[in-house]
Structure 1
Amino acid sequence: MNDVIFETVLTTVAADGRPHVAPMGVRYRGEQVLLMPFKPSTTLDNVLATGAAVLNIVTDTRVFAGCVTGRRDWPTQPAERVAGVRLACALSHVELRLAERIDDVQRPVLHMARVHEAVHAVFAGFNRAQAAVIEGAVLVSRLRMLPADKVDSEMAYLQIAIDKTAGAAEREAWGWLREAVQRHRAAERADIPQGLAP
């Protein structure tokens, strides 16, 4: 049986109050939320430093695409009951406090207790282009691990949903992802020794 993972955006703050925004798949376990950030990561460092995080439910997929393409400066508002911030564009948010940490060399498991929840806007429904942007963001986050032909074929398939259902925000996000793939390929070509270049 597959473990159900929900794509969200986590906001944390450093010990000095500097905010950090990162997409993260989370698991729900009753009243707790399980986070499994990789080591090393700013998100992990911040949760361990402050004991808190805020889970944001967003449909503005520019946040997902932006975070994996170097655009992490998103408008925030103060959290109400934990040391942290929430995204201003969040449809809803859940403020979390660290309850238990199970260490691991690669991905520790953080059991987070729900402290406060709030709804800020109505969910209007799913848009296929939003799902395509999230999948594209996952591909871009793994460019160093995946073969180029796999990335190309999956991006080509996702392009169908973008072409058919994207609004302006999804088109902008998709453009950032395509640019990131092109930059990655250009950097790879620049690393090829001259004698091996095609």
Structure 2
Amino acid sequence: MIQEVLISTINAEGETHIAPMGVHVDANQLIVLPFKPSLTLDNLLQTKTAAINYSDDVRIFAGCVTGRRDWPLLPTECINGNYLADALAHTEVKLEQLEDDSVRPRLFCTRLHSVNHKPFQGFNRAQYSVLEAAILVSRLGRLPWEKISSELDYLRIGLEKTGGDREWQAWGWLMQAIEEYRLNSEDL
């Protein structure tokens, strides 16, 4: 199973980096698969710890892939780091094993500490649409434009039917990033 989460890591200077990522859940391990290059990868290799944040605020996912990374944080309890103040839950993890790869290494992490902060009320279709669009934005340059365009057309349906202010704001950030990419891309 893959869970869409926000990973917070710190560097040697104690600066927090937040990145959305799909984390594979396998028994007692969480497997992080960042693409190279990645600050999440660099920080995890350096500190051997991270906080896995579970959130239903899709603005954070969209914000992180569009350069908006200044979200309120709180200190973690068992590792040196921070978790998202608005997280529904967070899990503090320790890196146990690395399977290196030239494109996407596998980082096997064990849970050290988990906290539920608020109940999860479920995603509506607009939140799902924003999450999927954020994934598409994170893969600009890796996927053909036709695929991105057709998926965005479909995702917009769910947004239009169930979106609130947060989802529309996040969608706007993503569409702005796509438009900037298209204007600056020679491949389109």
* Alignment partners' CA distance in 2, 1:145 and 1:134: 18
Name the structure 2 match of 1:195. none
Of residues 11, 16, 19 in structure 1, which corresponds to 2:8? 11
TM-score by length of 1: 0.90
Q: Give the alignment partner of residue 75 of structure 2, picking from 75, 78, 103.
A: 78
Provide the aligned C-alpha RMSD in A: 1.3
Secondary structure of the structure 2 residue equivalent to 1:62? helix
Q: Which residue of 1 aligns with 2:33?
A: 36
Q: Displacement of 1:145 after TM fit? A: 2.1
Residue 97 of structure 2: aligned partner: 100
Per-residue CA deviation, residues 135-168 of structure 1 (Å, 9 max, x unaligned), is 1011111221222222222111111111110111
Tell me the number of residue pairs that the alignment of Structure 1 and Structure 2 aligns: 187
CA distance in 2 between counterparts of 1:36 and 1:133 reads 21
Deviations 1:42-64 (A, max 9, x none): 00110111110000000000111
1:149 aligned partner: 146
Same amino acid, percent of matched pairs: 49
AA of the residue aligned to 1:161 = G
What residue is the counterpart of 1:55 in the other structure? 52
Contiguous gaps of at least 5 residues in structure 1: 193-198
CA distance in structure 2 between the partners assigned to 1:26 and 1:153 by the alignment: 26
In structure 1, the residue matched to 2:88 is: 91
Instruction: Tell me the residue number matched to 1:196.
Output: none
Equivalent-residue separation in structure 2 for 1:106 and 1:183 (angstroms): 25
Alpha-carbon distance in 1 for matches of 2:148, 2:100: 32
The structure 1 residue matched to 2:121, chosen from 109, 120, 124, is 124
Q: Distance in 2 between matches of 1:103 and 1:157?
A: 36
* Larger displacement relative to structure 2 (167-176 or 25-34): 25-34
CA distance in 2, matches of 1:148, 1:104: 26
Structure 1 residues 156 and 89 mapped into 2: Cα distance closer, same or farther (>3 Å)? same
Shift of 1:183: 1.0
1:45 corresponds to 2:39: no
What amino acid sits opposite 1:133 in the alignment?
Answer: V
- Which 4+ stretches in 1 moved above 3 angstroms? none
